[in-house]
Amino acid sequence: MKGNIALTFGILFCIFAYLYDPKTCRTYVRALLRFVNGGEEHSDDRLKLTVTVFSREELSKYKGMNGGDVYLALLGNVYDVTRGRKHYGPGGGYSFFSGIDGSAAFVTGEFNEKGLVDDISKLSNQDILGLEEWKSFYEKDYKFVGIVEGSFYDKEGNVRDMMRIYKKKLEDALLEKDLLDSDRQLFPSCNSEWAQNKGGRVWCSTKSGGISRDWVGVPRMYYATGSSKARCACVRTSGPPSYDPQSTSHKDRGDLDNPNLSLYPNCNADSISCPLPKK
Ligand code: HEM
Ligand SMILES: *[C@@H]1O[C@H](CO)[C@@H](O)[C@H](O)[C@H]1NC(C)=O
């Protein structure tokens, strides 16, 4: 009984909320179902009831023809981009995105039939981070109106393999980014300059490579994991090595003994500035 009253109220609320923002409605229904189920977590099946699933054909009608609404899909999510008609509507510079899920092209820039697809399986992990940024952009600037049948969802709105592939790639991409970020902290890039007559020079300071720190370090050629080319890194010269920061038996040489480093020719081991070898 309690549930029925809540449900009736919920439906009324939703009719109004939907007009305002379908997402508010979804959040509300989620809370409501939890209440009706006595605090039990909702299942995805129930949540799905509240999301519009567009077929490809339905979505293709929203290209803004004759002043109509403009929708586009990204990662299976449909957004109302009518407000951005000048970009997405007929004659707009990005009208090829409207009425379809052209996810891949958001990072490949291939704005043709082959590129405007929702197959993201060939994209790099880096590309996936780009797609996440586009997703945040649409979530923030436009209204989510449903999902579309395609590689990410079937016509009932169940997730398909492409979604799992996406999630996995995203997870890997975030791990890679963490590694890269910590690499940038431990081995900050050097300052560098090059002059026609004097040749090149690399040197370290307390904020080279965009990393502010309380040590200067010395320039070394650094071969980062997964990279065949060396870059100039400023290497910490005291304290324990970064790969074993708790070490009590260290030689107080910082990261100097890391095997992935080599000295610049014509440069002293303790110099904070090194001339670059002539090409
Ligand atoms: C992968 C390549 C690219 C993609 C996927 C892309 C996508 C987009 C999208 C979706 C919009 C509309 C944003 C909105 O809803 O407000 C936009 C706007 C815009 N883009 Fe791009 N773009 C790309 C490359 C470029 C390049 C190379 C340039 C410049 C040479 C450029 C210049 C612009 C400009 C000037 C706007 C309009 C901003 C405004 O008026 O609000 N885009 N782009
Ligand atoms: C040196 O590089 C190799 C391969 O890139 C990596 O596996 C290893 O962890 C690095 N050594 C140190 C001490 O960072």
Q: Looking at the CA of residue 226, tell me the nearest atom of ligand 2.
A: 5
Task: Tell whether 39 and 61 lie within a shared domain.
Answer: no
Which residue from 25, 1, 2, 30 is spatially nearest to 13, judged by alpha carbons? 25
Domain count, the chain: 3
Nearest ligand for residue 224 CA:
2
Considering the chain, what percentage of its residues have pLDDT values greater than 90?
Answer: 76
Task: Tell whether 62 and 123 lie within a shared domain.
Answer: yes
Task: Tell whether 178 and 60 lie within a shared domain.
Answer: yes
Instruction: State pLDDT tens for residues 69-99.
Output: 999 999 999 999 999 999 999 999 999 999 9
Which residue from 169, 214, 162, 211 is spatially nearest to 190, judged by alpha carbons? 211
Task: Tell whether 247 and 203 lie within a shared domain.
Answer: yes
How high is the pLDDT of residue 41?
46
The range of the structural domain enclosing residue 94 comes to 52-186
Task: Tell whether 222 and 116 lie within a shared domain.
Answer: no
Calculate the CA 59 to chain-centre distance: 25
Is 222 close to ligand 1, i.e. is its CB under 6 Å away? no
Q: Which of 186, 211, 231 is the last residue of a domain?
A: 186
Nearest ligand for residue 228 CA:
2
Lowest mean pLDDT among 124-133, 149-158, 244-253: 244-253
Task: Tell whether 80 and 171 lie within a shared domain.
Answer: yes
Is 87 close to ligand 1, i.e. is its CB under 6 Å away? yes
CB proximity list for 214: less than 8 A, separation 6 or greater? 206
* Angle, CA of 69, 142 and 95, to the nearest 5°: 50
Task: Tell whether 27 and 85 lie within a shared domain.
Answer: no
Is 84 close to ligand 1, i.e. is its CB under 6 Å away? yes
How high is the pLDDT of residue 225?
84
Task: Tell whether 213 and 277 lie within a shared domain.
Answer: yes
Mean pLDDT along residues 201-205: 98
Alpha-carbon dihedral sign for residues 163, 167, 168, 169: positive
* Ligand 2 pocket, residues with Cβ under 6 angstroms: 225, 243, 258-260
Q: Which helix (H) or strand (E) holds 77?
A: strand 77-80
Rg (CA), the chain: 27
The residue that leads in pLDDT, 38 or 201, is 201
Whether 6 shows a pLDDT value over 80: the answer reads no
What is the pLDDT of the chain when averaged over all its residues?
89
Which residue from 267, 247, 256 is spatially nearest to 222, judged by alpha carbons? 256
Q: pLDDT confidence of 228, banded at 50, 70, 90?
A: confident
Is 142 close to ligand 1, i.e. is its CB under 6 Å away? no
Residue 139 backbone phi and psi in degrees, to 5 = -60, -35
| Predicted TM-score (pTM) of this structure | 0.73
Contacts by residues 177-180 (CB-CB < 8 Å, ≥ 24 positions apart): 177/129, 179/225
Whether 43 shows a pLDDT value over 60: the answer reads no
Which segments of 61-160 does DSSP mark as H helices, in order?
A: 85-88, 105-108, 125-141
Task: Tell whether 111 and 124 lie within a shared domain.
Answer: yes
Whether 155 shows a pLDDT value over 70: the answer reads yes
